[in-house]
Amino acid sequence: MIARVPLISFFLLVGCLLLPQVAAAGIYRYVDAAGRVHFTNVPTSSKFRFYRDEGDRYTLGTLISHYARKFKLDESLIKAVIKVESDFDPQVVSSKGAQGLMQLMPETSHEIGVKNPFDPSDSIYGGSYYLRKMLDSFDRNLDYALAAYNAGPNAVRKYGGIPPFEETQNYVRRVKYYINHYQQSKDTL
């Protein structure tokens, strides 16, 4: 009986050490076709998108941090793209039809599984995923990836780099300016 006490104590100690990891779990949500919001800490399908870490307030900053880690991106890159694309307005629609914070075109949203581009979590997920795809497609060349995000990957391939479109060239410059700004200022959202 005495030999069991240290063993039980050991298991209790290990269990207590694991508790903080469980408490730091994320909360995920999705909105169904009827408009009902569903939350879980154990997503059972790809419909669920990260909402926030347990115990954290829901902020754009928590979403950006989460998806930056998930897709191995610099948070400053995501913030800069959001700043240039939508100026942090989740409801904006461009004259070309791009939607939400990260200004995803409907075809791109469909391709990458974004159901609601006006939902900040869905938009940041989709935009971050697409940025990662473009960086991987263009050998991590940030200029080419940003140009592809703006003008499409086929335009970058066609011209062998940043297309000679004034809008795209300005876009790449502006995003890089804001990347530097967010890296220097460490602004929080």
Nearest to 124 by CA among 177, 169, 168, 81: 81
Residues 6+ apart with CB under 8 A from 74: 68, 179, 183
Quick check: 163 and 153 in contact, CB under 8 A?
A: no
- In the chain, beta strands by DSSP E: 26-31, 37-40, 49-53
Active site residue 85: yes
Of 85, 107, 111, 166, the catalytic one is: 85
Nearest to 131 by CA among 144, 121, 113: 144
Amino acid at 141: N
Q: Which residues are catalytic?
A: 85
